[in-house]
Structure 1
Amino acid sequence: MVKHRTPAPASTMLRSPLGNWQLHRYPVRSNDPLQAWDAADELLHAQLATLQQTQLPQHPLLVNDSFGALVVAVATQSWCSYTDSYVSHQAQLHNLEHNNLPTSGKQLAGLDTLPADRDLVLMKLPKSQSLLAFQLAKLSAELPSGTPIIVAAKSKLFTPAVRALFQNYCTDVSVSLIQRKCRILQGQLSPNLAEEVASTNTWQVPERGLTLHHLPGVFARNQLDIGARLLLDNLPAAGAEQVIDLGCGNGVLGLCYAKHSPASAVTWVDESYLAVASCARNVEANLPPSDGYRCVVDDCLTQQADNSVDLVLCNPPFHQEHAITEHIARQMFQDAKRVLRHGGELRLVANRHLPYYHFLKRLFRNVKTVASNTKFMVLSCTL
């Protein structure tokens, strides 16, 4: 019998030339095997330490700071954090408070306008290239020309296409040699008004009678996800009173159920601000007006009351940016159990190789496979 070792807990102490901080990923888990920062964060700390020898920027803009590794380094400055992730915002606040640092900076997201007084941009590369293009266009359009930008990421992420994007929106672009499998890109922002900042992608799902709009970075931006197709072919019967599309992305699961069951009240939930904005547009474009429809930014179902829902639909992720992890899906399943009324159902689609079944069996009284193919399975979980 093969024994599976429990991964060792990751370090929580970030040590850099700028100081030492205890950092957690968010939501905080005991013995978390994933670290809240990476080598690219440490390289940005080194760059800040070099700047500190002359004059540390007073108004830094931090872009895609996942868990606060950057914000703790500039907590005493007039910082502004811009990210598409609600969870990242919560992580930043948690780690600032945990290290007894002020939380008086600004947190912006999605389509928010950036403050024009920034004197430095520190950026981590997002996983989505469409989101990167959106963010660079936004930085170029809303910050003064010549604002310095320093970007860090794993070396393999600085592809020719990514470097070309920076050439479109920056001058004096230089890329460092590889350090700890990462690189630093530096440049200065320059105006590039040839592209719309909020570039929206639109396509049809004719078999469902839907027109879907997607802001950059939203999952399944170019076509209907094949896992979602299987779940849409196996939706529960109409009639659920209160329904949640959890991790909604473009909102297609909740949209189809709402068309299938017009009397249902449906709430779409995602931690991505741009996903929720896209979803709100799709609800408006594809469904009649209703006071029963809501689009909400949340960390899974943290803000949802216990025993308040009859049906949760879910196509859970198994990535958090560049990290492969099951913990988000597990949090979704636990939250779904908490908010479901007695007799309620969680219906989800999952990759066949992911070990969700036994975890779900510990949470729900009944777990059954509704449909499956070579890649995916649809599970029905009831209390």
Structure 2
Amino acid sequence: MNSFTTSWGAYRLTRFPEDPREQLRAWDAADEYLLRRLAGETEEPAVPVALSGTVVVLGDRWGALTTALAGHTPVVQISDSYLGQRATAANLERNGVPAGAVRLLTTTEPPPERIDVLLVRVPKSLALLEDQLHRLAPALHPDSVVLAAGMVTEIHTSTLQLFERLVGPTRTSLAVRKARLVFSTPDPGQARPANPWPLRYALPDGIGAVSGRTVTNFAGVFCADRLDIGTRFLLQHLPPTAAAGGRTRVVDLGCGNGVLGTAVALADPRADLLFVDESHQAVASAEATFRANAPAGARAEFLAGDALAAVPADSVDLVLNNPPFHSHRATTDAAAWRMFTGARRALRPGGELWVVGNRHLGYHVKLRRLFGNCETVAANPKFVILRAVTSRG
């Protein structure tokens, strides 16, 4: 656990789920730069920002900003990440922040009607930023303070143009320790274009039951404007799910826009589906895709969560998984490992995990270690589909 030192004090912070071996911190130079600017400590002529009224923190990755500010003013945090908000809740409790000092909202919930201070951690997804600024801009007024922060690799000309178009006149700071600030002055009278999100498109032919179907993608979902090629490969090799004398319980794990689970429902309307993702935007996308395409009588649940941590053991027959290998720009297999171990626990004896991934990631090694077996179902020059079966003993 690391100590995050700010103008208001030092805070003990971790990511979620907490792992003593994890070397990545729960904050970075952009968080530090933004808090120094709020305190009036930056080199440019500055005075402290008055943290009063409704203070909204958008995209706080692990709760560093929210925890540092919550002891001084009520804060509303808006996040797409289930894991990020679990980290925030744990860090608030760890640092003695009173319950009720922070209101945690997801990116799919209605935002506050009035915002006096808007603090933005620029996300990896420009689309997610666009969607959220569309949602939040109507709550700004001429005296609102809008301040964003990101690493220099996260702030581009397109980022500044987005603030200009949706908030008002915008400028940026000099870089400090590879971090940069964005200052935007709200112009409530500014005409804004319509929000293009969610985005819908028709799937291509040749991918089984979902061929030609329309999918819905909320902003920030991976491959929002096209079908991910790994998912496409798995769609061409989906296992049969119909079971004699009962309903098959199938999980679309890391569901994204829900194409895999929806394909199962179309092929086997008796299957019970569970769509799981740590992104609230993804879960909303999966539900919209399923509702628009699933046959009558198809059943599904939709869950934002930490892989399969909330799913009872020995309760699932089949898990379909196209795991990510990035977490907030860090290349890591931690998410895949949580998904695989969660699947091993949740699957019934004889249950199967089907995984699609880049060949070079070596998922077969992890699966053999966990399940004691791993079979290659299909492969092409870029991807491999792997099948692991839980022991019946």
Task: Tell me if both proteins adopt one fold, taking TM over 0.5 as the criterion.
Answer: yes
Equivalent position of 1:261 in the other structure: 268
The percent of aligned pairs where both chains have the same amino acid is 37
Give the 3-state SS of the residue equivalent to 2:147 in structure 1.
strand
Unaligned runs of 5+ in 1: 1-10
Does the Cα contact within 8 Å between 2:38 and 2:49 map onto a contact in 1? no
Letter of the 1:363 counterpart: L
- Partner of 1:102 in structure 2? 98
Is 1:222 the counterpart of 2:225? The answer is yes
Q: Which residue of 2 aligns with 1:372?
A: 379
Identify the match of residue 178 of structure 1 among 170, 175, 180: 175
Please tell me whether residue 357 in structure 1 is matched to residue 360 in structure 2: no
Deviation sequence 1:323-359 (CA, Å, 0-9, x none): 2211011101010011000000000101112132222
1:202 equivalent in structure 2: 200
1:7 corresponding residue in structure 2: none
Separation of aligned partners in 2, 1:239 and 1:381: 19
After superposition, what is the alpha-carbon deviation per residue over 1:230-265, rounded to whole angstroms, capped at 9, x for unaligned? Answer: 111111123251000001000011111121222111
Alpha carbons of structure 1 residues 54 and 150: separation in structure 2 relative to 1, 3 Å = closer
> Which residue identity lines up with residue 111 of structure 2 in the other structure?
L
Residue type of the alignment partner of 1:102: P
- TM-aligned CA deviation for residue 219 of structure 1: 1.3
Give the match for residue 344 of structure 1.
Answer: 351
TM-score (norm 2): 0.91
CA RMSD of aligned residues (A): 1.7
1:152 corresponds in structure 2 to 149
Tell me what 1:43 maps to.
33
Q: Which residue of 1 aligns with 2:24?
A: 34
1:188 offset after TM fit, Å?
A: 2.1
The answer on whether the counterparts of 2:269 and 2:298 sit within 8 Å (CA) in structure 1 is no
Distance 2:345 2:278 in 1: 18
Residues 72 and 101 in structure 1, CA contact (< 8 A), matched pair in contact too: yes
Is 1:113 equivalent to 2:110 in the alignment?
yes
TM-score w.r.t. structure 1 length? Answer: 0.93
Structure 2 counterpart SS, 1:87: helix
**Contact (CA 8 Å) 1:198, 1:215: kept in 2 or not?**
no
Are the equivalent residues in 1 in contact too, given 2:169–2:186 (CA < 8 A)?
A: no
Q: Choose which of 51, 55, 62 in structure 2 pairs with 1:56.
A: 51
Q: What residue in structure 1 maps to residue 43 of structure 2?
A: none
1:291: how far off? 6.0
Distance 1:126 1:155 in 2: 12
Report the CA distance shift for 1:55/1:203 in structure 2 as closer, same or farther (over 3 A): closer
Report if aligned partners of 1:18, 1:45 keep a CA contact under 8 Å in 2: no
Equivalent in the alignment of 1:65: 60
Match of 1:5?
none
**Structure 2 counterpart of 1:302:** 309
Q: 1:165 is matched with which residue: 162, 167, 190?
A: 162
* Range with greater deviation from structure 2 (125-134 or 171-180): 171-180
Distance 2:142 2:47 in 1: 23
Secondary structure at the counterpart of residue 21 of structure 1: strand
CA deviation after TM superposition for structure 1 residue 193, in Å: 5.2
Q: Tell me by how many angstroms 1:122 deviates.
A: 1.0
Confirm or deny: 8 A CA contact 2:266 2:294 kept in the other structure. Answer: yes
In structure 2, the partner of 1:3 is none
Q: What is the distance in 2 between the residues matched to 1:145 and 1:53?
A: 18
Residue 203 of structure 2 aligns with an amino acid whose one-letter code is V
Instruction: Give 3-state SS (helix, strand or coil) of 1:184's partner.
Output: strand
Alpha-carbon contact 1:39-1:182 (below 8 Å) kept: yes
The residue type equivalent to 1:45 in the other structure is: L
Is 1:331 the equivalent of 2:328? no
Q: SS state of the match for residue 116, structure 1?
A: coil
Q: Distance in 1 between matches of 2:171 and 2:140?
A: 20
Query: Matches of 1:257 and 1:276 in 2, distance apart?
Result: 17
Structure 1 residue 206 displacement after superposition? 4.0
- The equivalences for 1:280-291 within 5 A come to 280-290=287-297
Count of residues in Structure 1 that have an aligned counterpart in Structure 2: 373
Secondary structure at the aligned position of 1:36 is classed as coil
Q: What amino acid is the match of 2:25? A: Q
- Following the alignment from structure 1 to structure 2, what is the Cα–Cα distance between the partners of residues 345 and 311? 5
Q: 1:212 aligns with which of 212, 215, 225?
A: 215
Deviations 1:195-219 (A, max 9, x none): 3346221111142241111111111
Does the aligned pair in 2 maintain the 1:114–1:143 contact within 8 Å? no
Secondary structure of the residue aligned to 1:114 is: coil
The structure-2 alpha-carbon separation of the partners of 1:52 and 1:304, relative to structure 1 and needing over 3 Å to count, comes to farther
Deviations 1:257-304 (A, max 9, x none): 121222111111111111111111111111124362112211211211
Which shows bigger deviation, 146-155 or 19-28?
146-155
> Partner letter of residue 229 of structure 1?
R
